[in-house]
Amino acid sequence: MTDLLETLIENREMVQPTHANNLETTHGGNVMLWMDEVGAMSAMRFSGETCVTARVDQMNFERPIEVGDVAFISAYVYDTGRTSAKVRIRTYREDLRTGEREKTTESVFTFVAIDEDRTPTPVPELTTSTDRGKQLRAAALEYERNGR
């Protein structure tokens, strides 16, 4: 069994001009790439297996991230199937000087655990042994239930 908080992965990317569109904000494809990578790390930490992206639910881009800003990506497993893990992934624009964050993007990705033959393989049971883990799981289920 793996506890939800053990699946929490956070990462940062400095937004460079090569990540930007013609409006000098982060290209949505780069944000999706970063979210996919961090989400996969969360799913792999949970399952102990290689994980591949099976589904991306609605992707909500709420505000841009400008060149020079930092993209802060947070992901955690909140629900599972027999061979799959649902990961809530959120991206924020972060000011490193002040610590201020604004949510920019959110989605749920589903990853499937695969074995060395690239065949889906069972995942362990997800546990939530802390109040914070229970709160994160409840928030993700609420986000999923309310259609974002």
Rounded to two decimals, the pTM is 0.94
pLDDT of residue 58: 87
The phi, psi pair for 124, rounded to 5°, reads: -75, 175
pLDDT in tens, the chain (148 residues): 799 999 999 999 999 999 999 999 999 999 999 999 999 999 999 999 999 999 999 898 999 999 999 999 999 999 999 999 999 999 999 998 998 999 999 999 999 999 999 999 999 999 999 999 999 999 999 998 886 6
List strand residue ranges (DSSP E) for 15-145, in order: 50-56, 60-61, 70-80, 84-94, 101-114, 126-127
Which domain CATH number covers 61? 3.10.129.10
pLDDT of residue 1: 74
pLDDT of residue 148: 60
Distances (CA, A) of 2 to 76, 77, 138: 12, 10, 17
Give the range of the structural domain holding residue 51, as residue numbers without chain letter: 2-145
Contact 96, 142 (CB under 8 A): no
CB atoms within 10 A of CB 67: 17
Per the structure, the count of domains in the chain is: 1
